[in-house]
Structure formats: structure tokens, C-alpha cells
Structure 1
């Protein structure tokens, strides 16, 4: 068994798939440089560092209702949110429907008609609308959002380039509604997650706030001083939330990563996302397992069984790490009767998760360091983490916290505290709407 351990470790080291293949200090430096370059006027960076013109308010308005639109993935959610005197969010009149453009391509008029249909039942209940728009969009100084591209699920090419807030209000006005006093704040889900963390009741006096999502994809947001944002030179005082678009961070630890990136759409983009997020951990594991079969690390019997169950997804790989003796799981059945296969497979999948956790920790550590906050252990940085991949993938959260403790707290004397807040996109969008 010791032999299979060393053979597996050598295989992982050869292909850059072990956590040791990630030089944390070098990675932190590269991430920091990319952040700084992305903030410069004309700077070239894989991190877009999108200004949001959204501030972190000290106090959330109490007792005032706000209309919330949450457009994310393939679902469209609308509701009314009110914060009570204790700061607790009350969600009412909630409704969920499908996003326009999922089943078939729609025109811009059809797209915004669906949004207007959902908002109309709430239109007289508030003049403030918080719009969580979870697609790539540039944010304007008046808090509107202009879509840059839709994910493949949404087919609405005419919407690209149109301000979603202003166009929604125009559609409502066409229907006879008075929108002269209506105000819309558009933000993405990661920014909303940060705001939800700020609003959550806590006895801890946090020094800073970070929004972090690790689900199908990944992204991070933090608060930056306006004096450091060269892309909005007219602002000198105060601060605002920056949408890092961290999933696009350009980094490639090994040769197998290059091969995997080449097999994906847009191989030159979203490298970090393709190494840590739920849409890719399974396919990456599939590639690594096949390479292990090719090099004889896993047996011929395993190869024959695996051929019948691949390609695997992130849930399948996580299940094996969680319950490696449960024969109802596909990968457990693949290693049945061969202890070397069973152990090598576990080490491979665990290493992929450990490396993803180290990369995740580097993302968060670099963001904390760039924020300049968290140097007092009594006043840590609040990280509101959202996303099923982070919480449900076996060992990912545990290992991420270990690497943050090792490299950020012990190594840099910076301190963080994780929180998990239900309905973060909805709550954050409500806060943004009330802040207008």
C-alpha cells in the first residue's frame, strides 16, 4: 500500500495536480499585481475589476419596502423586502418563474416584457428596485447595468448593450405606470452577497467585507478606496465595491491544466474558475483519472468499469471522497475488489480538491490583503461565502479554511471570519435598492 501512495504522489507531482504544485507566495503576488493592473486606466489584466458605484452603507434603511428582482441562471425571482428595526429582512410576495430566453431566443422587447410582467404586481409598493443581474455586465455611474454577454442558457442577443434598469422602466411606462420617481440599482450576485454580509446582525465589529461565490462558477467582490481606482478618475474620496470577476484569473499550474483548458469553450479565459468551480471539478477529475489509467496507475479492470460511468461530474467525485465504501456510488463500484485502485483514486480526487482549496484560499487571501483590512484579530474581515460547490463538495471548505489559516493568519497576520447568509442575492439587492 505504501508503494501505491508514493506512485500516486509522483503521478500528481508530475502533472501539477498536487497542492504542492501551487506556490502560494508567488500566486499571491501575481493575483495582487493583476488586481492593481485591472484598477488602472488602460491597465491590462485578466481581472476586470469592475467598479460598481455601490457603497457599503453603515445603516440599512428600516421599515421601507423595496422591490427585488433576482435574475440568475435560468430562474427569475421577484419579491418585496423590508428590514425591521433589528435589521432582519422580511421577504414577501415571492414568485419564481423562468428567465426569458431559456427555451428559445427572444427579442429585447419580449425579454423586458417578462420582467415587467413580474414587477407589475409590486409596482405600487415601492419606488426603489434592487436588481440582482447575475450575468456579465458593466455598471454605470447611475447604477444601471449594461449586459456584455449572456451564458449559453439565455438566448437574447438584442439585449446586449441595453441598460436593463432604464429599459425595464421604459417598458413599465409604456404600460401606463408612472415611473418618474422609480429608481433601479443593478448589481451582480457577488456584490449582493457582500452587501448581505454587511447587513447581517453581528456582535463582531468587522473591519471589512468580502462577497464570495463558489458554485457552478466563481467570483469575488471587495471594498476599494476610490483613490486607487484609476478607471473612475473623477472619484477621489470614499470607497465602493469592486466586482473582481476573479474566475477569469489567468493561471496555469501544470500540463494537464493546459490540456483541460484546451478542451473547454474559451480556452484562454476563466482559468481559475476551471480549476475550482462546480462546473469543472468533475470534468477535470475525469481527465486526471484517464491519465492515471493511461500511465498504469489504475488497473485494467478499473479502466473497463470507469469507461461505463464516465464522464463524471463534481457530485460523483465528491461522493467517493465522502463515502468510499458505499457501493451504490459509481466510483466505489469501479474500485471494488482492488485496494490499490481504491486508495489511488481517493488520493487523486482528494488532491484535486486540496489544490482547488489552495487556489480558493489564494483568491481570498489576495483580496483581503488588497483591501488593507483585517490586521486586528478582534476586527476580522467578514467573508460571506455562497454557493453549493463550496459547502457541499467534500473537504473543499475545510481545506480552504486550513490554507487561509496557514498563509493569511499565521503568515500575514490578517484575520477573517466566514458567515453564511440565506437568500444573500435577494437581501443584497434590497440593500442596494434602498441605498439609492
Structure 2
């Protein structure tokens, strides 16, 4: 947790005065491009709140505000053994989770499988067969020669899906660089269950969830102060609990207005209309050359998938617009390859502990074949710092918007994802942005604290499967499609 008045990471501006004048001008230009001041943050949050409300009111808004049919938080008494399948942007993970008798405790066994690159643009059948392969391997390894009864599965499918039921989800659109034919507009549960059945695997999908919803539920399992679950990783997103009465688009279902329901915001698509976000020309290029131009505007400025590419484009622009200014006489051909650099490249630069930035020099030489001068290293460091800071500050706008909309004055926010857990200073920069947006007094303790989440994609998926079966048993069947299958799992 960030404490009182989070200490900001040291900026290297102090070592800039010795740089050549032309490099200083370029740094100044980068600072103008990537700096987001308090007034802009507040303007973004104001528009963000309107978009959240619009998504709850009508279908088809930029921010879908998907109803998940997760109806309430766990009480810590949930028990049983559940499978969890986590399909993220980079890896596929299979977990077996036992919720034990001890309140809020669990045991977990898991295996991770890398999503093959060719799968991202392959066919639906290839995707479901690959997932079934991984599940089968896991079951055969951990339960060899065991006669298993039906295993309830929580499927974490971290892509925007419309859910009329908790055991169903129609993919709205691919994100995170995926573009697999034959899946968009389709329910993703039946084709996977059909392949599992064909293989004789005793697995039934009890709940389809998003990783943010899982993060929210898993974090609240161990911390009752948790009110929001966030992902800051390959993509960005958040989930929180809303009262049914505040979701006009499901008013026709005549559910109790005070019944809680988790909302998966899918706010990576915030401001697709380009109303308020401070887009740079590099953001415009990323959008233009992406598989889905015009979509996921917010995500493309803040998510790990894009930070290294923004950095590459900024350097490439400098090389082309002012030839001879940097890396003079060296072969910079490698910088022409899109997405060659990822967020970990920037993280390594920001983590370089040496005054002479020797680790950054080594990284540039090993990955790009370039030997930067000392002044160039200072500029590189400042550029990485600016891009990382902008991402953290903009990311806080989503959290601030949910707090503003819900009138939440204080809470914990469970955050997961590689950028949150591994990118240096991301937490401190985000906390500082929240202080500015929400107007906390200089010495006031943070009221909204963003902290590392429990394993939402694994433990959260298992908990939601458990919560679903628990309410089937209690006769609360709202948002459940396949009642017969659910009853066989009890």
C-alpha cells in the first residue's frame, strides 16, 4: 500500500543541463507530448464518469459495462475443489483450486502454457483444440488413472463478452492483438464444452468470467475493503460491484434493485471517439497500424502491449525528422521492426541503478545493435520515464472515475497484471495521480489504495464457480442458463 504522500521516483531532469542543446530541445518536445497535467486528468475523469453511466444505460456504448451475473462477494465459507482456466493475452494457465475449511484459505496447483503466436490469427477450431489439449494434459498429469466425477470449471476469458448468463458469453471483439476467425459474435462456451465432451473429459463450465471480475472477487475474499478489481497488464480493465437498480439496461428483468452485480467495465475502449484523451502522433500511428483501428483508444495509450512500441516510434521519428541527431553513423535498422520492444525494455531502462546508465547501454547494444553516447542515454532514460509516467497517470483515471461515480471516498483496489507488478514506479505514479484527481490534502493519508491483488484469474475463477453453485443450491437462478448441468455439479 502506498502511504502518506507517496514519494515520487527520482527524475533525471537534474542531469540534463550538460546535454547538447539540440538533444535538450528534443527532450522538451517529448515532455510536451507525454506530460498529462492535473487539469487534463480531471477533464478525462469527468468524461469517463459519463461514459460509465452511458454503458450501464444502453447497449453499444464505447465502454460496454458488461453485466457478469456474479451476484455478490464471497463470505469466506466457500469450500470444494474447482478447475480454473485462464486465457490471457500471452499465456494459458490451468489451475486446480481447493477452497479449504479455513475461512479465506485455499490450495492451488497450476500449469502454464504459452499461447502460440500463430494462434492469435488462426481459426476458432485451432483455439478450442489447443485449450482442450492443455486441459487434458493437466488432468492426465495430476489425476492419472483416477475416475473423476464432473469437475466444475471457472473459465477466465479476458476479452469483452456479452453475458446474458454467467455460464455463457458472446465475444464482442478481440483485443490484445488477437484476431481469430469464427469467434466474434459467438458464444464461446458451447464449442469448448463440445470438444471436452468429445475427448471424454468430465469438465463442465460453471462460470465464464473476466480477469478483472476474478480479481475483484479473489481480492475481496481476503480483504473486505476491496471494492474495485483492476488489470494493468497486456491490456487494461476494471470491475466493481453495482446495484441492479443502477443498471437501467437490465430493468426489464425486474430483479431486486438493491441486488449487487459485478460489472466488467471493459474500459480499454474508453474515448474511442477521441473526445478527451491527449493523443500523440505516436498513438495515432499505433491505432492506424493495429488490427482494429479506432478501437481500444485508452488501452493503446496505457497497456503493456503498446508502451515499448510508443518508445520505438518516438525514437524512429527523431531519427527520421532530424537525421544525424542521435546514433550517428550506426545501423538503426532494427528499430524499423514494429513491436520489437515491449514494456519490459522500458522497465529495464527505468530500473538502471547506475549513474552512467551502463545497463541501458548494454541493453541497447544487445537488443538493437546500437551504442548510445552518454547524452543519448540520458535522453533515452527521460523518454522511457515520460512514457511510463503517462501510462500510470492515465491508468488512474479509470479508478478515479469508478470512485467518483459510486461516491466511494475510501477503499482498496486490487490490481494485477505485469505492468502493475513489474514496471518500476507505476504504483507511486498512479497514487500521485489519484491524489491530484480526488483533491486529497497534501498530508492526508491515501483514501483509495491500489495494491497487489490475489490471483483473480485462478482463485477468482474458482470462487465464482463456487458462488454460482452455492446460489443454484439456494434457488437463486438469475443469470444461469444451463440449470440441468449446474444441478449435476452440486
Q: TM-score, normalised by structure 1?
A: 0.83
Task: State the aligned residue count.
Answer: 420
Aligned partners of 1:155, 1:287: CA distance in 2, in Å? 23
- Of 231, 240, 246, the match for 2:261: 240
**Are the counterparts in 2 of residues 192 and 427 from structure 1 also a CA contact under 8 Å?**
yes
Aligned partners of 1:18, 1:152: CA distance in 2, in Å? 25
Q: Equivalent residue for 1:63?
A: 79
Q: Measured at CA, do residues 125 and 401 of structure 1 come closer, stay the same or move farther in structure 2, by a change above 3 Å?
A: farther
SS in structure 2 of the partner of residue 26 of structure 1: helix
Q: Measured at CA, do residues 191 and 118 of structure 1 come closer, stay the same or move farther in structure 2, by a change above 3 Å?
A: farther
**Are the counterparts in 1 of residues 66 and 161 from structure 2 also a CA contact under 8 Å?**
no
Are residue 33 (structure 1) and residue 53 (structure 2) matched?
no
Residues 127-146 of structure 1 aligned to structure 2 (within 5 Å): 128-146=152-170
Q: Equivalent residue for 2:397?
A: 362
Which region of structure 1 is more displaced relative to structure 2, 394-403 or 274-283?
394-403
**Are the counterparts in 2 of residues 60 and 431 from structure 1 also a CA contact under 8 Å?**
no
Q: Measured at CA, do residues 7 and 173 of structure 1 come closer, stay the same or move farther in structure 2, by a change above 3 Å?
A: closer
Q: Measured at CA, do residues 305 and 50 of structure 1 come closer, stay the same or move farther in structure 2, by a change above 3 Å?
A: farther
**Are the counterparts in 2 of residues 82 and 90 from structure 1 also a CA contact under 8 Å?**
yes
Q: Measured at CA, do residues 125 and 421 of structure 1 come closer, stay the same or move farther in structure 2, by a change above 3 Å?
A: farther
Q: Measured at CA, do residues 175 and 344 of structure 1 come closer, stay the same or move farther in structure 2, by a change above 3 Å?
A: closer
Q: Equivalent residue for 1:289?
A: 315
Q: Equivalent residue for 2:462?
A: 430
TM-superposed CA distance for 1:168, in Å, is: 4.5
TM-superposed CA distance for 1:45, in Å, is: 2.8
- Of 333, 358, 362, the match for 1:328: 362
TM-superposed CA distance for 1:29, in Å, is: 0.6
- Of 314, 336, 351, the match for 2:343: 314
TM-superposed CA distance for 1:112, in Å, is: 7.4
Q: Could you list the per-position Cα deviations for residues 339-368 of structure 1 after superposition, in whole angstroms to 9, with x for gaps in the alignment? A: 3x3333333322222211210111211122
- Of 402, 405, 413, the match for 1:383: 413
Q: Measured at CA, do residues 99 and 301 of structure 1 come closer, stay the same or move farther in structure 2, by a change above 3 Å?
A: closer
- Of 332, 340, 349, the match for 2:384: 349
**Are the counterparts in 2 of residues 285 and 352 from structure 1 also a CA contact under 8 Å?**
yes
Q: Measured at CA, do residues 60 and 318 of structure 1 come closer, stay the same or move farther in structure 2, by a change above 3 Å?
A: same
Which region of structure 1 is more displaced relative to structure 2, 215-224 or 75-84?
75-84
TM-superposed CA distance for 1:313, in Å, is: 3.2
**Are the counterparts in 1 of residues 84 and 462 from structure 2 also a CA contact under 8 Å?**
yes
- Of 70, 88, 102, the match for 1:54: 70
List gaps (5 residues or longer) in structure 2.
1-15, 469-490
TM-superposed CA distance for 1:62, in Å, is: 3.6
Q: Could you list the per-position Cα deviations for residues 314-341 of structure 1 after superposition, in whole angstroms to 9, with x for gaps in the alignment? A: 22233222213323120799574443x3
Aligned partners of 2:31, 2:201: CA distance in 1, in Å? 63
Aligned partners of 1:112, 1:325: CA distance in 2, in Å? 43
Q: Measured at CA, do residues 5 and 30 of structure 1 come closer, stay the same or move farther in structure 2, by a change above 3 Å?
A: farther
Q: Equivalent residue for 2:483?
A: none
**Would you identify which runs of 4 or more consecutive aligned residues in structure 1 move more than 6 Å?**
152-155, 175-179, 411-414
How much is the aligned-residue C-alpha RMSD, in angstroms? Answer: 3.5
Aligned partners of 1:4, 1:29: CA distance in 2, in Å? 38
